[in-house]
Chains A and B, each alone.
Chain A
Amino acid sequence: MVTRTERAWDVLGGVLDPEVPALSVRDLGIVRDVIDHGEELEVVLTPTYSGCPATEVIEESVLSALREQGLGPARATLRRAPAWTTDWISQDGKRKLREYGIAPPVIPAEAGTQGVRLFRRKPESVSCPRCGSLATEQSSAFGSTACKSLYRCLACREPFEYFKPL
């Protein structure tokens, strides 16, 4: 017997992040819990960045997906602590990111945020999602969204995005 929460987790595996539509909200690790309150289903979400404009859209798409699958009524609640970290992106999620053309974070978030040094930083060895070369360089610290920076591959010359450790 598949429970309502298990079915909900399955549905959430099909709800895509609006800004990185290669990943589901489950792959991203922002769904922290699904609780069956009998009458109502509660989905606990943790936002990625404080100012992420996708947060409201994600809430809406999560709720409408559950409704469409007959799992409603449902509500979404926000859990801020502990703060979301890129370590919560699943292995499957990291593979999907790479296939989509975005290099996944190469180091654990704690090392990454400690590695936010002011000067003489050792560049992270980010491998090109297209050709796999480690000969890459950062072209911009921020990308099309706060969670990414811009890189270029010196081997195949392709520009690509890198998901920053957070």
Chain B
Amino acid sequence: MQASIQVSARPEVQYLLRIGDTALILGQRLGEWTGHAPVLEEDIALANMALDLIGQCRAVLTHAGALEGAGHDEDQLAFLRDERDYRNVTLVELPRGDFAVTVVRNAMMATFFKLLWQRLAGSRDAELAAIAGKAVKEARYHQQHAADWLVRLAGGTEESRRRIDKAVAQLWIYHAELFADDEVDAHADESGLGPRWSALKEGWFAEMGEIFAEAGLTMPPAVSFLSTGKRGVHSEHMGFILAEMQQLQRAYPGGVW
């Protein structure tokens, strides 16, 4: 069994891990639909979006490893950390649920990522800016696609509307974590690495509001619940997804494609 690695607690490394891990886990969840989506076209679309996210994650984790300077590559960072050392937001690790859950989460996350990449394209870190310049174009298509489906399902049948309402009720409370700042955000902001995530909140609410209005949905009221995935304290679902992701690399140390 391959031993776990420890990663630097330096804020710039942590900031990048939050981005890379969030893309990684969402990509893994979307990949679960391959062969299971309700229609063939959507199977292809979800796999394509998963591929974009994994590609973005690879670039960001590689860069995190370079900044850390401890010789960790993308595979070691993706597969050899313990649960507490993953920095993804809790929202993306929740089970993929039914198609409505996937659509609502994709709309929330693609909107967030688009706004984040837009800001990161102006990062003082040239490599991160370059990664973001590419990723933002991809995220736009993801957001458009998720919004299309959200509107279609919300205005579809009684059953599709019931499922969308249920998905929104289930997922909405996890959005607060996206915009909860801490010392990692403060450091990124001061050093010019990237924005405080709270700075994206207003834009996110504006665009989600536009999507909800078009879909005829009401945005749920704010609640005080705050998930803590990006601080490494995850939901009960995280261990299972890591077990599936890490099994090969742990069983065959150093295995490559």
Which residues of chain B (28-77) have a CB below 8 Å from chain A? 41, 44-45, 48-49, 51-56, 58-59
> Does B127 reach chain A (CB closer than 8 Å)?
yes
Q: How many A-B residue pairs have CB under 8 A?
A: 87
B127 touches A80 (CB 8 A): yes
The answer to whether A83 and B134 have CB atoms under 8 Å apart is: yes
Given A81-B129, A142-B41, the answer on whether A51 and B145 have CB atoms closer than 8 Å is: no
Question: B52 near A51 (CB under 8 angstroms)?
Answer: yes
Which A residues lie within 8 Å of B58 (CB)? 50-51
B contact residues around A140 at 8 Å (CB): 41, 44-45
Q: Restricting to A72-95, which residues have a CB under 8 Å from any CB of B?
A: 80-84
A108 within 8 A of B: no
Q: Are B135 and A142 in contact (CB under 8 A)?
A: no
Residues of chain A within 8 A of B143, CB atoms compared:
116, 118
Partner of B130, one of A53, A81, A141, A144: A81
A146 to B129, CA, bound (A): 22
Q: Is B147 an interface residue (CB 8 A)?
A: yes
Which residues of the other chain, A, contact B98 by a CB distance below 8 angstroms?
A: none
Does residue A150 face the partner (Cβ distance < 8 Å to B)?
yes
B140–A146 contact, CB under 8 A? no
Main secondary structure of the interface of A (DSSP, over half): loop
Q: Which residues, 106 to 137 on A, are CB-close (under 8 Å) to B? A: 109, 113, 116-119
A9 interface residue, CB < 8 Å from B?
no
Which A residues between 11 and 49 are near B, CB-CB below 8 angstroms? 47, 49
Total interface residues on B, CB under 8 Å, equals 35
- Which of A51, A84, A119 has a CB less than 8 Å from the CB of B214? A119
On chain A, the number of residues with a Cβ less than 8 Å from chain B's Cβ atoms is 28
Residues of A within 8 A of B145 (CB): 141-142
Distance A88 CA – B138 CA, assembled complex (angstroms): 17
A119 lies within 8 A of B56 (CB): no
Cβ-closest chain A residue relative to B54? A51
Asked if A166 lies at the interface with its beta carbon under 8 angstroms from chain B, I say: yes
Residues from chain A with Cβ under 8 Å of B147 in the complex: 118-119
| B144 at the A interface (CB under 8 A) | yes
In the complex, how many angstroms separate the beta carbon of A114 from the nearest chain B beta carbon? 9
Across the interface, do B51 and A53 meet the contact criterion of CB distance under 8 Å? yes
Q: Does A52 contact B (CB under 8 A)?
A: yes
Interface positions of B from 1 to 52, Cβ below 8 Å from A = 41, 44-45, 48-49, 51-52
B41-A145 in contact (CB<8A): no
B165–chain A nearest beta-carbon distance, Å: 20
Q: Which residue of A lies closest to B133 (CB)?
A: A83
Residue of B129, B130, B143 most packed against chain A (CB within 10 A): B130
* B144 partner, pick from A80, A118, A139, beta carbons under 8 A: A118
Give every chain B residue within 8 A of A141 (Cβ-Cβ).
41, 45, 141, 144-145, 148
**Chain B residue, CB-CB nearest to A140:** B41
What is the CB-to-nearest-CB distance from A115 to chain B, in angstroms, rounded to a whole number?
A: 10
* 13 contacting pairs across A/B (C-beta < 8 A): A50-B56, A50-B59, A51-B55, A51-B56, A53-B51, A80-B131, A81-B126, A81-B130, A83-B130, A84-B134, A113-B137, A118-B214, A150-B41
Interface residues of A (CB under 8 A from B): 47, 49-53, 80-84, 109, 113, 116-119, 139-146, 150, 164, 166
Give B residues with C-beta under 8 Å from A. Answer: 41, 44-45, 48-49, 51-56, 58-59, 126-127, 129-131, 133-135, 137-138, 140-141, 143-145, 147-148, 151, 207, 210-211, 214
Known: A80-B59, A118-B210. 5 other contacts (CB 8 A): A49-B52, A51-B51, A51-B55, A140-B44, A142-B41
